[in-house]
Amino acid sequence: MNFSESFFAARFGIETRDLQHYLSEALSQGGDYADLYFEYLATSSISIDEGIVKSATQGVSLGVGIRVISGERTGYAYSDDLDPDKIRKAARVAACIASGPAKVESTGLHEGVRRNLYPVLTAPTETGLHERVELVKRADRAARAYDSRIFQVNAMYADSLRHVLVATSEGVLNYDRQPLARMNVSVLARQRDGRPQSGYDGGGGRVELTYFDTHTPEQFAREAARQAIVQLDAVEAPAGEMTVVLGPGWPGVMLHEAVGHGLEADFNRKKTSAFSDRIGELVASPLCTVVDDGTIDSRRGSLNVDDEGNPTQRNVLIENGVLRGYLQDQLSSRIMGASPTGSGRRESYEHIPMPRMTNTFMLAGESDPEDIIRSVPKGLYCVNFGGGQVDITSGNFVFSASESYLIEDGKITRPVRNATLIGNGPEALRHVSMVGHDLKLDQGVGMCGKEGQSVPVGVGIPTVRIDKMTVGGTA
Amino acid sequence: MNLLDIATEAVEKAVRRGATGAECTLAEGDEFEASVRMSEVETLKEAGSRSAGIRILIGQRVGSSYTSDLSPDGIAQMLDAAFQIAEITTEDPFAGLPDPGDLGKLDGDLQLYSTDIDELSTSQKIELARRTEAAALNYDPRITNSKGASFDTYTGRRVFANSLGFAGEYRSSYCSLSVMPVAKEGALMERDYWHSSSRRLSGLDQPEEVGRIAAERVIRRLGAQKVPTQKVPVIFEPRTARSLLGHVFEAVHGSAIYRGASFLAGKLGEKIAAASVNVIDDGTLPGLMGTSPFDDEGVPSRRTVVIENGVLKSYMLNSYTARKLGLRTTGNASRGVTGNAGISTGNFYLEKGTQSQDELIRGVKNGFFVTELIGQGVNTVTGDYSRGAAGVWIRDGELAFPVSEVTIASTLQEMLAGIAGIGSDLCFRNSMESPTLMIGEMTVGGR
């Protein structure tokens, strides 16, 4: 496919010379760099509650964001109308950041090398609504059938299809079609008149609807129900420093908070991260290698190109414990004199791109997961988490365990109630003493928020033993 | 065509096409942001956007859709999409629009919109941000860096019409000044922030005041320690206490109540908090962030007593959850532009007490004064509470030394019952507010 057959050219008649005009307008007051980000987003969502499909929505939004960079300054404007006059007006508003005559000659636009990490012929958003509504109905039935103590089921299915087009004053012209689908199931369980407990599971990716033939609503429903039933017997979580074992998969959210955010280049360029100026230093146990990889087929966090037109790649953040690199966007890489890493992302055309993660995970080690559990005389085994948060500057981060168990004498014993775990980014991974061979990525439901912008991401981790971490229970 | 006409016409078209009920929301807004970092302009952003959403009923089935294209074609496609959706939803005996008798608007000027926000030039806006940051940077030599200061404004218009004949619109404005300085001592860095926001420019605090408070806060954090694990009294300053009000709101949220997904479900009329606790939701207070003439279903905003002398008096409801529970809507319906209405607060607050913050601190021999909370470790189904915290340790009634990298844990049930002191320092900065709050005992998780 070439540009003339691409979505925005075919549907809105946009030609490369239009793009060049807009870029020239954006740079008419000077500036070092300008880019255009066209976005067309179609979404649908369907949810079931109390066995009734009470809510479903579909819709479209469309617009273009225009950015001008002058030194460390950014001018930004957007339009939700692709009328050429409206786009030129937005370009002039963005141009106000720069002052003086035009310096940059916009070169010709060249299409980037194309690849497809998500070769989805028919995006879920393009399929019939009747097929999709069945998914939530099946989840509802399966969760209720799992155990008579399940008394509420809420299942949600959501998909989107995003078409993007990026053109820059450096001649980059790239476009992409980005499908995304997920479903999740939340349940409540209750033992007679006892207090209710909740369970949650879900999955998805940049996939066709057939993905849910093998990752079935029934599996998500049963897993959510299992978690809620387990919690019925949970005891108070312990409080204070102890050995923590993280199970494989979603607990990788710890890496996202502990090191991922702190390695985003904007914070490091401004020297406001606890990891600033520490490239080459040992910040983790030599057992730890952490990567951010936007190129894994069909994953929720993957992209063919980032939202600045650069191809995504596999970035090594920490290698055998040593801090190796930052996640760059266009602005930070220009200022720091570094190469882009394909990490420039934004929530929509209304937002300025920032360095962001894609799929962040720790590589597998050599330990047997069962040996890791057996090695702990007293500690906590955390299998599932809710979200987390980090204070980039001090490096303190938290993540909340939604399913965890006491380890006593090397054995998993009782489930404990929800508790938050807290640590310090550059310190926490130094206490990693065993890394399992069972690397697992999460199932594809993660969202990451930064400065008011949400983007889909993935995480992953093998079973890991951390000798010292503070657990926020009450016992 | 003006927005109100677009909305009423979309509703009429839906009804002509066979919808038994319809409601249409339109929103337009203009945003501006000027940010400054280390005295240099960092970002200027300016743009406007519009969106429309419709929700239709066909008997007891609903369908919703939205678009950013408000042209006749765009609205027609939005209607098509909503009718398609209504084919796949299930009959819900409780689906509907509000009772016609509940519809209406508050009269009078609620002071939600001020033109003074548009009177500043871009360079004046930049100057406000620059002054705010300068005040923080100049406060103490240990403040060597900054995550920047920004001056943001937003002006918008919201339009709502339904097939019961309601049609209303209102404008609103917002401006805010914020700054996040970074202080360094040895190899350790800390950041903190402060902001001032208002519906009118003249309601903002002085930039120098905002900058100074942010600076005092970040300096106070330097040299933070981790304390041993222990059970102690905990005092939440207003900035962190308001998050507890957020959990109370989630727990009295109509959807959580009818689903049994709240520790407060079924507790109307029961004592759930200390007798000194009074929680009010009031969407009628002029000029405040949570005020509006009508909610997102066309029901007038009102004042609702949620907790009175520790007794749970009301849930927060929209028309759907009210019907489910056999109650009347509290006028708290909320949505973007589409979908079934959710629920949000008006101005949701804890009534002030009589003691100053200093008096509350003086009454504590050994305890924790919490100035920041991070993470989401709160479960309003069970009431389990466990969050990351930073603040200052209290020793013999004095703020003694900064603390970080600890957790605080309890249950919301015990925390509400254990409220042992309420400050007199209630101040309406956001739509959810609390004065300083003391809880008799929580577990601090540390060393």
Interchain CB distance below 8 Å, A418 and B386: yes
Q: Identify whether residues A377 and A463 lie together within a single domain.
A: yes
**A411 contact partners, CB below 8 Å, separation of at least 6:** A373, A374
Question: What share of chain A has pLDDT > 90, as a percent?
Answer: 93
pLDDT of residue B258: 97
User: What DSSP designation does A264 have?
Assistant: B
- Range A425-430 average pLDDT: 93
CA A299 to chain centre: 10
For A304-319, write each residue's pLDDT tens digit.
Answer: 999 999 999 999 999 9
Interchain CB distance below 8 Å, A56 and B410: no
Q: What is the spatial distance between Cα A254 and Cα A244, in angstroms, rounded to a whole number?
A: 12
- Range A357-368 average pLDDT: 98
Best of B38, B42, B44 to disrupt the A interface (most A CBs within 10 Å) is B44
Give the other-Cβ count within 10 Å of A192's Cβ.
Answer: 5
- Residue of A57, A392, A473 lying closest to B64 (CB–CB): A57
pLDDT of residue A104: 73
Nearest chain A residue to B264 by CA: give it.
Answer: A195
Interchain CB distance below 8 Å, A270 and B95: no
Two tokens at B31?
A: 């945003």
- Residue of A74, A77, A133 lying closest to B88 (CB–CB): A133
For A63-103, write each residue's pLDDT tens digit.
Answer: 999 999 999 999 999 999 999 999 999 999 999 988 877 77
H or E element that contains A240: strand A239-246
Q: Identify whether residues A177 and A323 lie together within a single domain.
A: no
Instruction: Tell me how far apart the terminal alpha carbons of chain B are, to the nearest angstrom.
Output: 65
Q: Are A401 and A269 in contact (CB under 8 A)?
A: no
- Residue of B372, B376, B381 lying closest to A198 (CB–CB): B381
CA distance A115 to chain B (A): 30
- Range A290-312 average pLDDT: 97
Interchain CB distance below 8 Å, B89 and A58: no
Residues of chain A contacting residue B405, judged by C-beta atoms under 8 Å apart: 394, 396, 422-424, 470
Q: How sure is the predictor about A108, in pLDDT bands with cuts at 50, 70 and 90? A: confident
Interchain CB distance below 8 Å, A72 and B379: no
Residue owning tokens 């005389």:
A377
Q: Identify whether residues A189 and A257 lie together within a single domain.
A: no
Q: Identify whether residues A303 and A450 lie together within a single domain.
A: yes
Pairing of strands B437-445, B230-236: antiparallel
Residues of chain B contacting residue A421, judged by C-beta atoms under 8 Å apart: 407
Best of B405, B410, B412, B415 to disrupt the A interface (most A CBs within 10 Å) is B405
CA distance B431 to chain A (A): 18
CA distance A93 to chain B (A): 7
Q: What is the spatial distance between Cα B9 and Cα A73, in angstroms, rounded to a whole number?
A: 44
- Residue of B78, B188, B445 lying closest to A471 (CB–CB): B445
Pairing of strands A52-70, A33-49: antiparallel
Interchain CB distance below 8 Å, A389 and B406: no
- Residue of B42, B190, B384 lying closest to A72 (CB–CB): B42
Best of A76, A351, A422 to disrupt the B interface (most B CBs within 10 Å) is A422
Nearest chain A residue to B223 by CA: give it.
Answer: A394
**Is the pLDDT reported for residue A1 higher than 90?**
no
Q: Identify whether residues A227 and A314 lie together within a single domain.
A: no
- Residue of A129, A195, A420 lying closest to B377 (CB–CB): A420
Domain that holds residue A61: 3-231
Q: Identify whether residues A180 and A264 lie together within a single domain.
A: no
* H-helix segments, A58-109: 84-95
Domain's final residue, options A231, A263, A282: A231
CA distance A458 to chain B (A): 19
CATH topology of domain B3-220: PmbA/TldD fold (3.30.2290)
Q: Are B272 and B303 in contact (CB under 8 A)?
A: no
Q: Identify whether residues A183 and A122 lie together within a single domain.
A: yes
Domain's final residue, options A172, A205, A231: A231
CA distances from A102 to A93, A161, B320 (A): 15, 37, 58
pLDDT of residue A106: 65
Q: Identify whether residues A246 and A317 lie together within a single domain.
A: yes
CA distance A196 to chain B (A): 6
Q: Identify whether residues A188 and A303 lie together within a single domain.
A: no
Residues of chain B contacting residue A418, judged by C-beta atoms under 8 Å apart: 377, 379, 382, 384, 386
**Is the pLDDT reported for residue A376 higher than 80?**
yes
CA B59-B64-B70 angle, to 5 degrees, is 125
Interchain CB distance below 8 Å, B405 and A60: no
Interchain CB distance below 8 Å, A188 and B261: yes
CA distances from B129 to A106, A319, B133 (A): 33, 40, 6
SS3 content of chain A, % helix, strand, coil (to 5): 25, 40, 35
H or E element that contains A344: strand A344-345
Give the other-Cβ count within 10 Å of A130's Cβ.
Answer: 9
CA distance A152 to chain B (A): 7
- Range A165-192 average pLDDT: 96
Helical pair A84-95 and A16-26, crossing angle rounded to 10 deg: 30
Q: The CATH number of the domain where A225 resides is what? A: 3.30.2290.10
Q: Are A246 and A428 in contact (CB under 8 A)?
A: no
Q: Identify whether residues A68 and A46 lie together within a single domain.
A: yes
- Residue of A188, A398, A424 lying closest to B260 (CB–CB): A188
pLDDT of residue A111: 87
pLDDT of residue B118: 85
- Residue of A62, A93, A391 lying closest to B68 (CB–CB): A62
Pairing of strands A464-472, A239-246: antiparallel
Nearest chain A residue to B74 by CA: give it.
Answer: A60
Residues of chain B contacting residue A431, judged by C-beta atoms under 8 Å apart: none
Q: Identify whether residues A322 and A384 lie together within a single domain.
A: yes
Interchain CB distance below 8 Å, B447 and A241: yes
Q: What is the mean pLDDT of each run of 10 residues along chain B (447 residues)?
A: 95 98 97 96 95 98 97 96 97 97 96 93 96 98 97 97 98 97 94 97 97 98 96 98 98 97 97 98 98 98 98 98 98 96 98 98 98 95 96 98 97 98 96 98 96
**B46 contact partners, CB below 8 Å, separation of at least 6:** A76, A77, A93, B30, B31, B32, B33
Nearest chain A residue to B182 by CA: give it.
Answer: A272
CA distance A47 to chain B (A): 9
Domain's final residue, options A197, A231, A265: A231
- Range A128-142 average pLDDT: 97
pLDDT of residue A475: 87
CA B168 to chain centre: 23
Q: What is the spatial distance between Cα B179 and Cα B130, in angstroms, rounded to a whole number?
A: 10
Best of B66, B182, B184, B189 to disrupt the A interface (most A CBs within 10 Å) is B189
**Is the pLDDT reported for residue A118 higher than 90?**
yes
Number of compact structural domains in chain A: 2
Q: Is the ipTM of this complex over 0.85?
A: yes
Interchain CB distance below 8 Å, A198 and B445: no
Q: How sure is the predictor about A114, in pLDDT bands with cuts at 50, 70 and 90? A: confident
Nearest chain B residue to A130 by CA: give it.
Answer: B88
Domain ranges of chain B: 3-220, 224-447
Q: Identify whether residues A227 and A246 lie together within a single domain.
A: no
**Is the pLDDT reported for residue A441 higher than 90?**
yes
Residues of chain B contacting residue A51, judged by C-beta atoms under 8 Å apart: 90
